Amino acid sequence: MIRLAVISGKGGTGKTMITAALAHLLTGTLVLADCDVDAANLELLLNPKLLRTEPFMGMKTAVIDTTHCTQCDTCVEHCRFGAIERDGDTYQVNPLRCEGCAVCVQVCPVAITMQPRQTGEIFYSGTGRGHLVHARLVPGAGNSGLLVHAVKKMAMEQDRDCDLFLIDGPPGTGCPLISTISGVDTVLVVTEPSISGLHDLKRVVAVCRQFRPRILVAINRFDLEPSLTDAIRTWCNEEHIPVIGLIPFDPAVIEAVRNGRAVTSAGASPAAQAIQTLASKIEQELANRGTED
């Protein structure tokens, strides 16, 4: 199974739109994963049918047994995060504030324990192009990197015989991104011709190089600012990173997203044609990668 992650250094570059289009175009058997668990929306363009749901248990949270609590305030004094709240004679832990450090357990092991807490759900769904594993994180909950790992693990265990594992990754360079690109063969970085687009492209490439995947770049809406597109292409050339996609600004993309469809399934348009070329180049790059391995 070849593993391809579509990522971006910043949000709003069109990463999910391109991932959905590639799912529509790439040949062979696919399994898909939406690893942007903080704002998963690949499902909006693939119209999946939910097959099953599994709970995701994140970091443990402190729980106070009020029958053993002596109301001594020791736990309140030692909690640096203000997670322990008092309501009259009752103490309780605010799970949104608890960081799982367990200091309260150390100072009061009789009344306080650390308990698992469900912080999200993982969904296994069917689409016209293969199974999709996606997830939802409870607002304010942490451990999104662990949830990404769980999403990838389910996809690889359930569909291990597929030709391609296509991942819609998160934007940025944090833990979810690191969990996404760990173990992948190739990353496609989607950027845009803006100052922040180039800046964040450099940052995400620096992170990716620590994991040594093949790095490819696509520039979305490349025709909106030609000078910055040239700057991105110049930097990529200096860094020996192939720019394999130039996708123009196209109102057809907006219309396709509004209708919950991949732009490549919505008829001919400049963006759809550019992504078709991009998909062909990706398949060539993946074939070359397989030959090298």
Is domain 2-57+120-292 given the CATH code 3.40.50.300 in the classification? yes
Residue 293: its pLDDT value, please? 53
Q: Rounded to an integer, what distance in angstroms lies between the CA atom of residue 86 and that of residue 264?
A: 56
The pLDDT-based confidence of 144 (bands split at 50, 70, 90) is: confident
Residue 58: its pLDDT value, please? 84
Q: Please say whether the beta carbons of 150 and 144 come within 8 A.
A: no
The pLDDT-based confidence of 292 (bands split at 50, 70, 90) is: low
The pLDDT-based confidence of 50 (bands split at 50, 70, 90) is: very high
Tokens matching residue 84:
């322990």
Question: Is pLDDT larger for residue 225 or for residue 58?
Answer: 225
The pLDDT-based confidence of 141 (bands split at 50, 70, 90) is: confident
Could you tell me which CATH class the domain 61-116 is placed in? alpha beta
Question: Average pLDDT in the 255-259 region?
Answer: 94
Nearest to 134 by CA among 259, 263, 44, 260: 44
Average model confidence (pLDDT) for the chain?
Answer: 93
Identify the bridge partners of residue 214 per DSSP, sorted by sequence position. 186
Q: Please say whether the beta carbons of 131 and 89 come within 8 A.
A: no
Question: Is pLDDT larger for residue 267 or for residue 32?
Answer: 32
Residue 290: its pLDDT value, please? 57
H or E element at residue 153: helix 144-158
Identify the bridge partners of residue 131 per DSSP, sorted by sequence position. 31, 126
Nearest to 215 by CA among 7, 1, 24: 7
Residue with tokens 């175009």: 25
**62-80 tens-digit pLDDT:** 999 999 999 999 999 999 9
Which residues in 105-142 are b (16+ Cβ under 10 Å) and which e?
A: beebeebbbbeebebbebbbbebebbbbbbbbbeeebb
Q: Where are the domains of the chain?
A: 2-57+120-292, 61-116
Residue 152: its pLDDT value, please? 97
